[in-house]
A and B are shown apart, each in its own frame.
Chain A
Amino acid sequence: MKITRAQVERVAQLARLALSKEELDSLTSEMDAILGYVDKLNELDTDNIVPTAHAVPMENAFRDDVARQSLSTEEALQNAPAASDGCFLVPKIIE
């Protein structure tokens, strides 16, 4: 096994995913298969190959530092499950 069920649980927890027992089982074996494939790729000699950071052969996409009209507060908040006084409202955060 390349990955344990506990590791999958942890990754799910980090991603805030609530997985059922069945989902955990199937994901563990699926991820195990994926990592097995990655192992296969690792057999290749990549010493002289630059790691791919991006799938598109492109670089330096820039924008000028010029301000444009933003959304109105109403527009910005229109998808918010809860809003209050021009702000998104979330459960109380205590630090």
Chain B
Amino acid sequence: MLSKYEVVIGLEVHAQLTTNTKIFCNCSTTFGNEPNSQTCPVCLGLPGALPVLNKKVVEYAVRTGLATECSIAPRSLFARKNYFYPDLPKGYQISQFELPICEHGRLEIDTKDGKKTIGITRIHMEEDAGKLLHDSDAGSRVDLNRACTPLMEIVSEPDMSSADEAIAYLKKLHQIIVYLGVCDGNLEEGSFRCDANVSIRPWGQKELGTRAELKNINSFRFIKQAIDYEVERQADILEEGGRVVQETRLFDTDSGTSRSMRSKEEAHDYRYFPDPDLVPLLVSEEWIEQARLELPELPEAKIERFVKEYDIPHYDAEVLAAERTNADYYDALVKLHGNGKLCSNWVMGEVQRALNENGLKISDCPVTPQLLAGMLKRIDDNTISGKIAKKVFDAMWKSGKDSDTIIEEQGLKQVTDLSAIEPLVDEVIAANPGQVAEYRGGKEKLMGFFVGQIMKASKGKANPATLNELLKKKLAGE
């Protein structure tokens, strides 16, 4: 049934910016403090208080606009969006309407049919509302700590045609703004919130169908569920000859269904007008160019550079570049060590494993790129084997000591000396006459058994190449 209809999805993302202070006053934006401990006359909306724009908010918006190929408006304005709700002290939200700071951008996503470009209609700056708590019988409680914290609203064109594409777009956007350092990307704390506009239309129809707006979904998984549910809901209505109504719907994660929020027609009449408290914002050409110079390397470019300069598979590069802190660690490691593939194996392997086991982020990794590079050099010069290296790595992790100290202290230096390995080989051969006979009878798989025994006897320190060569000779009866 679904294949009868084309799905059309546009997304609005609200990203909370990582500034120290609110957008129009000097109150702190720190999350999780006592209710109403971060307010002032401006963010309480007291009469006579004047909002003054936080310059950093503009810088962050410009940065995001450049990274998404938007044009930056040389002149933009703040407007009042008028509505009444208890979490909005002034009776209006300061936002941007006619002249937003960024317009006409785009983002490229990977879909199952290849690359696809999703248009970005606009990015504008605005203030957040406070928070309502419904935990009291006496009424609803209002905490205004969040009121006036800076948000960036990023509005896409209705260019996505499936939940999967919507997720791909959101993940890409999320990755970019976290890379840019403008948003912490924390979905649970509401730093990255998404509204989805979903409609369907029979294939070939030009006009868009009536859309429903799905509000405030805070995980990638729920966004997919909510969109899929909405598409089916609308298709069912059309199939039964009904008409989809334009409304805001709230997705219930427990039941996996959505319900209409009381449709208040008038709520959409926001009577925007330029805010007389805020002067026009001019962003000069020089400002934009400076911001462009300061843009960090973005994931796409990083992946390309890793593949080209460090000679690693595209897959590795993608995994490593997924998060900026991860990429920075790898980058620093290769610069110190030189072998891109060995480094990527370690970062994606042991480092990741240890981080997962200890629930740490790579920025808190006790084994710094310096320590790790030092140890990898000891593999290169045959001081230790790859196997022993894992032991050294764990010891570095626990003690913070460098690899040379650990190798020295624990006597982990690899034994390459024939005269030291030979007695161990002889011992193992003498102790296992049965297996020796079998091996000589053609069961060559037993080689692994002997290597294991000898390695064990050497406490893992025998150089594998030397050992193998010697063992083969001995077993062949030479």
Contact = CB atoms under 8 A, between A and B. Distances in A.
Interface of A: 10, 13-16, 53-56, 58-68, 70-73, 76-77, 79, 82, 84-93, 95
B34 A70 contact: no
A87 B21 contact: no
A56 B275 CA distance: 12
B469 interface: no
B276 A55 contact: yes
A79 B89 CA distance: 13
Contacts of A66: 20-21, 26
Contact of B77 (A53, A60, A79, A85): A53
B84 A90 contact: no
5 contacts: A59-B280, A60-B279, A63-B55, A66-B21, A71-B40
A53 B274 contact: yes
B411 to A, nearest CB: 54
B282 A84 contact: no
A88 B142 contact: yes
B53 interface: yes
A67 B20 contact: yes
Contact of B266 (A14, A62, A92): A14
Nearest to B143: A87
Given A70-B37, A76-B39, 15 more contacts: A10-B266, A14-B271, A54-B274, A59-B280, A61-B52, A62-B52, A66-B20, A67-B28, A68-B21, A68-B26, A70-B40, A73-B35, A76-B36, A76-B44, A88-B36
B258 interface: no
A56 B276 CA distance: 9
A76 B55 contact: no
From B36, B37, B54, B274, name the one whose CB has the most chain A CB atoms within 10 angstroms.
Answer: B36
Interface string B269-283: 101001010111110
Interface in B25-55: 26-28, 34-41, 44, 46, 52-55
Contacts, number: 131
B230 to A, nearest CB: 19
Interface in B232-284: 250, 261-262, 266, 269, 271, 274, 276, 278-282
A36 B36 CA distance: 46
B201 interface: no
Contacts of A90: 86, 139-142
Interface residues of B, number: 50
Given A67-B20, A67-B27, A76-B39, A13 B266 contact: yes
Contacts of A89: 136, 138-142
A84 B138 contact: yes
Nearest to A77: B36
A15 B37 CA distance: 30
B27 A70 contact: yes
Contacts of A13: 266
A34 to B, nearest CB: 15
B162 interface: no
B418 interface: no
Contacts of B140: 89-93
A14 B86 CA distance: 15
Contact of B37 (A72, A85, A88, A91): A72
Contacts of A70: 27-28, 37-40
B250 A63 contact: no
Contacts of A58: 279
A92 B139 contact: yes
A13 B267 CA distance: 11
B250 A95 contact: yes
A63 B143 contact: no
B374 to A, nearest CB: 39
Interface in B131-146: 132-134, 136, 138-144
Contacts of A88: 36, 86, 141-142, 144
A71 B149 CA distance: 16
A87 B274 CA distance: 31
